[in-house]
Amino acid sequence: MKDNRVVYFSQILLLIVSIITCSLEFGVHSYLIYGIITVWGIGNLTSKVTYNNFIVAMMFIVCVGCLRIWDYSARMLMNIMLSFIGILPFLNNKNICVKVWVLNFIAIIIFVIINASTQQSLSMSAIINSMIFSDLETESSMLSFIFPLFSLHYLVNDRNLKLYFLNFLFTIIAGKRIALLALVLASLAFIIFSKREKMYNRLIPYITTCAIIFNLAYLYISYLLASGGLDDLISYYTGLSSNAFTMGRENIYGNIFSYFDSSNLSSFFFGIGSVSNYMERQLHNDILKIFLENGIIVFCVYFFILYRKVEINILPFLIYINILFMTDNTLIYVPVIYFMCFFTKIQKSHIHN
């Protein structure tokens, strides 16, 4: 009983520390907090690990990165370390015994305090302006990515619509458009499939294929954007340039593709190495990043592992993170990776129990 209490308090303390990390801008203190997470994770490693699709897929991409010894640089190793720190505390077989609603209200309180201390307006007009006019230089609280995970948990695990919509509201207030879109699409997918479980079970063998095709299609769209192939279409329907419409992503993608030789089979199959060795800023597209760094083989294997025989309770979380991959640097967002592991592990244990 005493051991269980120690595990409980250490888990909730670690989760609170992670929430605080979500609330603050990245800086020296982040490395201290990541150090705490790392020490806790190493101290709780076990030879037997409770795996799920997301943890295995993340372990795969970390291991592939570690094997690219010819590609080592300080920034590349830092990116690998950030991905690994997020999953490290879950490389064990210990059950998670934290009350999610307690954690949720701590996150809400911290979010409100941070917004109050920075004197950010929570008016409807301010929220709309944040969603419309935010750009790549605008830092937003990492909690904007975490509130949707709480929403999905309440929808999938507890069917608690009041807490689902409470976190939906805070997702809107946080002002991260891609997180809101991902939450809506992931929720709709779960609602549709949960009412047709027999159909879902028949579709399981095809979900992996569909996921790979979807990500390959987005990869091609990213290439078209970088090469100017979408300029006329975007200008015609929006009246904006492609670069303005995508908040600078056209220039970023065009820059990195200048190092990629599409006629070189080695680059296509095995990648060009860490994108951080070619550009100073982040790519803001993890789907493109996985392909450029590792090639088409690792790209397909990664998404095959991520969606292989995925349980219906896990699927909305994978859809959510996959959509974040489209426009963000989620693979190095330690708190997002951490809470993805946390929530998918809860769902997995819920299924088996």
- DSSP letters, 161-229, are HHHHHHHHHHHHHHT-HHHHHHHHHHHHHHHHHHT-HHHHHHHHHHHHHHHHHHHHHHHHHHHHHHHTT
Calculate the CA 233 to chain-centre distance: 29
* Residue ranges for the chain with pLDDT beneath 50: 1-8, 28, 135-139, 352-353
What's the pLDDT score for residue 167? 95
Q: What is the pTM of this model?
A: 0.88
> Which of these, 34, 139, 126, lies nearest to 87 by C-alpha position?
34
Whether 134 contacts 246, CB under 8 Å: no
What's the pLDDT score for residue 136? 41
What's the pLDDT score for residue 345? 85
Output the CA angle 347-103-316, nearest 5 degrees.
Answer: 30
What's the pLDDT score for residue 263? 73
What's the pLDDT score for residue 353? 42
| CA-CA-CA-CA torsion sign (97, 101, 102, 104) | positive
What's the pLDDT score for residue 145? 93
Query: How big, in percent rounded to 5, are the helix, strand and coil portions of the chain?
Result: 75, 0, 25
Whether 341 contacts 80, CB under 8 Å: no
